[in-house]
Amino acid sequence: MSDAPLLAVRGLRKSFGGLQAVRGFDLDVAAGAIVGLIGPNGSGKTTVLNLITGEIAADGGSVRLADQEMAGLPAFRICRSQIARTFQLVRILPGMTTRENVLIGRLFGADPAPLERARRDVDVLLDRVGLADRADQTGAQLTYIDQKRVELARALATRPRLLLLDEWLAGLNPTELQIGIALIRQVRDEGVTIIMIEHVMEAIRALCDHVVVMSAGALIAAGAPDAVLADPEVARVYLGDDDA
């Protein structure tokens, strides 16, 4: 094993018209880590995920996964290179069943399985995320929380080395939050490295080894969760000058 990071992002840039959404973003993620990506609304967090996964093309910079360059590859190739994600605004296929939604990940992700084996693998995943009894319901019939579970199962079905979660814990009630935290921890313990965008600081403290903070498209702080969350500059960007 080398000490090289699993993911190395360098100088990532993206503008939308005159708005610099991401302005020279660097990040190293060690294999096996859970890294929290936090920052106020509009600071560029989701854009960073969209750039890493090839959802949108970067204006510049490099994204290396275990020394393989991802920047410039189409999203499906990045997925097959074992980077998976969930979406801040859930994107499942409403007319397909829970099982079919997750099957897509197993059939078209990294290391695709033949149909019968894929079905069995998907049923194991559905059980794990707590959807076994809703496997035959359509996406449209599911509650919001269950739709988020489908997205997690679909992402895991692609067999990722790196999983990117965009506010996956947002909107959960306190019981669901604890279940969600335990599930994320379990995924990491099974060997998946995780970057999680999250506004729920309880989850950041409970799960993350390392936290990075974005403000206006740039990284402004990084370190252990307790130290970063106690940083006055971090409080200032979250609350605005007047409240700090």
Ligand X SMILES: Nc1ncnc2c1ncn2[C@@H]1O[C@H](COP(=O)(O)OP(=O)(O)OP(=O)(O)O)[C@@H](O)[C@H]1O
Q: Which residue has the tokens 């995320």?
A: 129
Report if residue 42 touches ligand X, rule: CB under 6 A.
yes
Q: Note whether 187 and 86 are within 8 A (CB).
A: no
Q: How far is the CB of 21 from Mg ion (least distance, A)?
A: 11
Using CB atoms within 10 A of its CB, is residue 42 exposed (0-12), middle (13-18) or buried (19+)?
A: middle
- Least CB distance to ligand X at residue 13 (A): 12
* Alpha-carbon span 109 to 149, nearest angstrom: 18
Of the candidates 6, 34, 36, 43, which one interacts with ligand X according to CB under 6 A?
43
Q: DSSP label at 75? A: H
19 binds, among ligand X, Mg ion, none (CB under 5 to 8 A by kind): ligand X
Sole window of 37-45, 58-66, 145-153, 179-187 interacting with ligand X (rule: CB under 6 A):
37-45
46 part of the interface to Mg ion, by CB under 5 A:
yes
Among 25, 34, 35, 44, binds ligand X (CB under 6 A): 44
Find out whether 99 and 126 touch, Cβ atoms under 8 Å. yes
Question: Considering the complex, what minimum distance in angstroms separates the CB of residue 39 from ligand X?
Answer: 6
Q: Is 89 in the site for ligand X (CB under 6 A)?
A: no
82: which strand partners?
Answer: none
Query: Residue 179: what are its φ and ψ, rounded to 5°?
Result: -65, -45
Segment interacting with Mg ion, rule: CB under 5 A, options 22-30, 66-74, 84-92, 172-180:
84-92
List binders of ligand X among 3-22 (CB under 6 A): 16, 19, 21
Q: Nearer Cβ to ligand X, position 45 or 134?
A: 45
Write down how long the chain is.
Answer: 244
Q: Give, in order, the Cα–Cα distances in Å from 241 to each of 43, 206, 221, 232, 236.
A: 16, 28, 17, 11, 6
Least gap, CB of 128 to ligand X (angstroms): 27
Residues lying near ligand X in the complex (CB under 6 A): 16, 19, 21, 39, 41-47, 88
